[in-house]
Chains A and B, each alone.
Chain A
Amino acid sequence: MALLRRPLLLLLLIVTHQFLQFRIAFGSVNEEGQKQEEFYEELLLKPLPDRKLLTHFHFQSSAPPSTSNGRHHHLFPKAISQLVLKFQVKEMELSFTQGRWNYESWGGFDPIPSSNAKPPGVELWAVFDAPQHLIDALWKNLTHTLSGLFCASINFLESSTAYSAPEWSFPPASGKLRYGTLPREAVCTENLTPWLKLLPCRDKAGISMLLDRPSIYRGFYHSQRLHLTSTGSGSEGMDPGIILEQTLTVVLQPDSQRASLAHASEKHIQPSWSLSSIFGKQISGRCVLAETSSVYFLLDKGLVAELEHIHKENEKSEENVLISEKFWNNPSFELSAKPDRIFIEESSLLSKNASVLYKFEIEKYGESEPFDLGLFWKTPVVWLCQQAPLHANRFLMGSGNERGAIAISLKSTQSSEGFMGSNSNDERCELRVDVFQVVPWYVKVYFHSLQVFVDQQPKAVSDIIEKIHVSPSKDKVSPGVMELVLTLPCSVSSAVLTIEFDKGFLHIDEYPPDANQGFDIPSAIEKSPVMSYTEVLLVPLTTPDFSMPYNVITITCTVFALYFGSLLNALRRRVAEEERFLKDKAAKKMDRIPLLLSKLSAKLRGRHLEGPQAPPASSSFINSKSVLKVILIAGLAVYWQYYFS
């Protein structure tokens, strides 16, 4: 039994310890004898306070800098390597998420939620290692490539209205970072399958065998993430090394039927589970291509403290059961397999409150003896997950479809005094909060209307906001971006930011098919210093009548044609002339035949002869002009006649 004391962050521990282990070289050796491509697979299981179970799959492939990257790979997915080379990606993260991470009950301060809790839908950010003027083009091509690679509509992030360039909310990239989200993207198995194809064993062997689609998508939250970093090549002509991390976080509700049968009286007991009961499968051996393949079972701080408390009450012994010899069968719970190692988080303040991590090596198990970890709770336990110092919520204010306001509320969870203490000065304790908010252009935000309320008291914006960066939205061109750095006193219990907006009106083609459902405002990001995402907001926009284009066009055009015609008519009408014309017409009605005769005779006598019969008084009716016209037509007729005969 090895007891290791490791630094604070568990994830760091998970990642670093692997490098200490003995490496078995699967995959062929590079001809220059350099580092080889490596693959690790891990699974973390963690019971959550609200009778749920967090399962976190972690796969890591890495390709060292080499000259053959993008052409030949042993383990590393070629598609990713080519993508990195072609689009000069320095760092990229793509996540597909369904459901919302429940920060209140699932915790917000552990390394797993802070890096894996993602906003619903698709989120993509990428840092490029290219000149500034090329970045937008690279981003567009990258979105199309990823869209094809993952069978998702990531290509909608191509449009300049969909992505933004945050300045300081993400890893500093001096304007080379692009960020975009698609909150309404439905995530399902067609996105998971291409994601699994990037693994060397796919879902045929090793931990990924557990990925049974129906059980995953039955969960409350699932988020598949792909994070890649390219490390600069050491020498010229070498392609950069790439580290690809793929994680899948699923929150499941174990089927508690068995538990309820066994302990009908105990309603508050946590549901017991095993891998086979939640996934319907067991791990029958590891992926042979993986360097290491391990399963971890994590009991977090609060749970450990609670368990020890229960144990002390019962047994009155000083010994810590959780790390004693018979820990897997202690009075509170029973593990079905014996762990190979136990890690205890090192905590400088209170050694009691340390989370415990059990490690199970998969190498030992095989087809004949599949690995199936089970947990059987014996006594009811109630605990709380560790919270981030602030809990962020976001909501809309106002009614109607003309204007509204977005409010971001930050509530102190009062649960991390230790963290606050570490950040405080002697006199003033301050909490630094970064807020990053993207709004689509049709939500026209008035940045001057930003108001800050601390503990329900309005505060001057300049007192609270240390730094602000705003890029206003441009209609149909770019979204509005707001980045804030707030400094709040540690004693704050709540802070609310409100900002007003007007709702825009779109062209009929710009509405999605179900326009009355509303439009999504992507999650805001709050970092204090753990990153957390707020809810996606649904903004209903006014819709025009989609069935009306023809009616509107014809009615409007008719009205304007009426205007044009009637105004021209009014301008050219001559009342007096009309009156006389009518009078003349009445007078001439009788002698129409003589008139015709006179015309005929005029025509017959030639052009020079004007109708002498025509009375001079009626010059307005038969004047020289009309006679000329008649003559001209007659001449034409005669010419026509001659020409054809």
Chain B
Amino acid sequence: MSSYAGSMYHGSPLLLSLLGPLTVKRIEGQPNHLLYSLVSVIADVVSAMLIRATGQNLRLAYLRSLESLDLVKQIDVSEFLCSGDIAALIYLCNPFTIVACVGLSTSPIENMAVILCLYGACSRLIPLAAFGWVIATHLSLYPAILIIPVIFLLGCGPDSPPRKLFLQRHQQKEVLNQSKLPPGFSWRPIIHFAFWAFLWSVYVLVLCGISLKQFGGLWEMFKSTYGFILTVEDLSPNIGVLWYFFAEVFEFFRNFFLIVFHVNILFMILPLAIRLRHRPCYLAFVYVAICSMLKSYPSVGDSALYLGLLGWFVNELADMQFSLFLFCGYVGVSLLSPVMHNLWIWRGTGNANFYFTTAMVYACLQIVLVVEGVSAMLNHDRKLRILITGKPQDAKS
């Protein structure tokens, strides 16, 4: 029987053939979900290690750029936190990660694919980056937009202050030291990446095609994975707001709103890419956060991912506004949301609006986080520029 025969499974056929047996097989005397829980724990640990390595990479790049801008004296580098360790710790100790793992969700594996992609791009392992990107896209579609940060990462290297600052700095000093300038955009690794991405996607599609040969082939897979994501067919409550929206919206407007919500993701890609092109990792974080906010079936695993990635930028985002408010909000929502769900579904004393309210608050918190995060990062760049030029100046970058 096809794995898509009932409306039960909407994931990748490869994931099912790899993990499906694990959920059935059991070790003597142990519960039968033990093997899969082990897999997700391993995936989380691997993700944390990759986050740490990438974070260290980013920190080094940041220090190097500060050095080349001669700002080491002005900014106290010794106060810098080790962002890689912090990010990895946030990812591992986040209750969301633990909950996603306990709930036997597939998000640890999806998150690992995303992190693999970013790690590969940061450490210039192009095949690995392409693999991570293809798998992440194959598993949950939304990471497809990470191709933009990956291209910037491969083209100009990891996060650094705007290139213009370097030029200004060197103009001031009137010594144009080419070696201290960050490298310009190079197309070679990108073509490499495209080649590898093509190779991996053909590989994945062929594998899927083989496993679904008897059951309608690839079209069946696209229809019940990507189609299911794009049309929001399942209206079961999740921590997002779209399930309730589409349960309530008039059938006549359904298609319109489907387009609106998906275009909402696509719409912000370009402005963010223009404004944050010198910080591709941060761009990736913002994209991941936006996706987890607007995606059809969000889960706490998605939040675990972007909160982990947020740890990379503790130094840059030190001046972020509302951080205490956000922290309290996240704690409050994660405590209230299960309570409201329980009241509504299990006890029948609450109604759907109770739970929807917590989902709405959660969406607002994510919005505040994204907006404040982006402005904090822009302010950080401004601060660097002020340090260099010594006065506020018109910045067109």
Which residues in A have some Cβ–Cβ distance to B below 8 Å? 399-402, 441, 444, 446, 471-476, 480, 504-509, 542-545, 548-549, 552-553, 555-556, 559-560, 562-564, 566-568, 570-577, 579-580, 620
Contact = CB atoms under 8 A, between A and B. Distances in A.
Interface string B273-285: 0010000000000
Contacts of A441: 7
A441 B5 CA distance: 13
A505 B392 contact: no
B335 interface: no
Contact of A474 (B7, B267, B271): B7
Interface in B346-374: 346-348, 351-353, 356, 360, 363-364, 367, 370-371, 374
Contact of A505 (B1, B243, B348): B243
A576 B382 contact: yes
A545 B392 contact: no
B233 interface: yes
Contact of B248 (A544, A559, A562, A620): A544
Given A402-B345, A563-B370, A556 B6 contact: no
B71 interface: no
Given A401-B348, A545-B352, A564-B268, A576 B393 contact: yes
Contact of B235 (A506, A571, A575, A620): A506
Given A507-B235, A560-B264, A566 B371 contact: yes
B28 interface: no
A508 B382 contact: no
Given A472-B6, A505-B235, A571-B271, A566 B367 contact: yes
Given A542-B352, A556-B241, A556-B245, A475 B234 contact: yes
Given A401-B345, A509-B251, A444 B374 contact: no
Contacts of A399: 346
B298 interface: no
A141 to B, nearest CB: 26
Contacts of B352: 542-545, 548
A396 to B, nearest CB: 15
A585 B7 CA distance: 63
A473 B348 contact: no
B249 interface: yes
Contacts of A562: 367
Contacts of A563: 264, 293, 367, 370-371
Nearest to A401: B345
A574 B394 contact: yes
13 contacts: A444-B6, A472-B1, A472-B6, A476-B233, A505-B237, A545-B353, A549-B248, A549-B250, A552-B249, A559-B367, A568-B268, A573-B375, A576-B394
B351 A545 contact: yes
Nearest to B271: A571
Contacts of B394: 574, 576-577, 580, 620
Nearest to B7: A475
A475 B235 CA distance: 11
B249 A571 contact: no
B105 to A, nearest CB: 15
B251 A507 contact: yes
Given A507-B247, A548-B353, A576-B392, 7 more contacts: A473-B6, A474-B5, A505-B247, A548-B248, A564-B268, A571-B271, A573-B378
A507 B243 CA distance: 10
B272 interface: yes
Nearest to B348: A401
B360 A506 contact: no
Nearest to B268: A567
A570 B367 CA distance: 12
Contacts of A567: 268, 271-272, 367, 370-371, 374
Main secondary structure of the interface of B (DSSP, over half): helix
B392 A552 contact: no
B264 A564 contact: yes
B244 interface: yes
Nearest to B250: A549
Contacts of B395: 574, 576-577
A401 B343 CA distance: 11
A548 B248 CA distance: 7
Nearest to A564: B264
B94 interface: no
Of listed A507, A555, A573, residue having the most chain B CB within 10 A: A507
A548 B374 CA distance: 34
B131 interface: no
A576 B395 CA distance: 7
B356 A552 contact: yes
Interface residues of B, number: 53
Interface string B224-258: 00000000011111000101111111110000000
Nearest to A516: B348
Contacts of B393: 576
Interface in B369-389: 370-371, 374-375, 378-379, 382
Contacts of A545: 248, 351-353
Nearest to A542: B345
A544 B374 contact: no
Of listed A441, A542, A570, A574, residue having the most chain B CB within 10 A: A570
A579 B264 CA distance: 31
Given A552-B245, A576-B394, A444 B8 contact: yes
A472 B267 contact: no
A160 to B, nearest CB: 14
Interface in B5-53: 5-8
Contact of A508 (B6, B247, B345, B346): B247
Nearest to A448: B24
A581 to B, nearest CB: 10
B271 A580 contact: no
Given A480-B6, A556-B360, A620-B394, A575 B245 contact: no
Contacts of A400: 345-348
A422 B356 CA distance: 62
B196 interface: no
A620 B382 CA distance: 20
Nearest to A548: B248
B367 A473 contact: no
A542 B261 CA distance: 25
A147 to B, nearest CB: 24
Nearest to A575: B382
B369 to A, nearest CB: 11
A570 B345 contact: no
A443 B381 CA distance: 54
A568 B250 CA distance: 29
B344 interface: yes
Contacts of A504: 235-236
A560 B242 CA distance: 11
A472 B215 CA distance: 15
Contacts of A576: 382, 392-395
B370 A473 contact: no
Interface in B174-206: none
Nearest to A470: B1
A571 B275 contact: yes
A634 B147 CA distance: 48
B345 A544 contact: no
Contacts of B241: 556, 559
B371 A570 contact: yes
Contacts of B351: 543, 545
B392 A570 contact: no
A506 B5 contact: no
Nearest to A505: B235
Given A570-B374, A573-B375, A553 B7 contact: no
Contacts of B275: 571
A473 B249 CA distance: 25
B6 A568 contact: no
A549 B249 contact: yes
Contacts of A568: 268, 271
Nearest to B244: A552
Nearest to A566: B371
Contacts of B8: 444, 446, 472
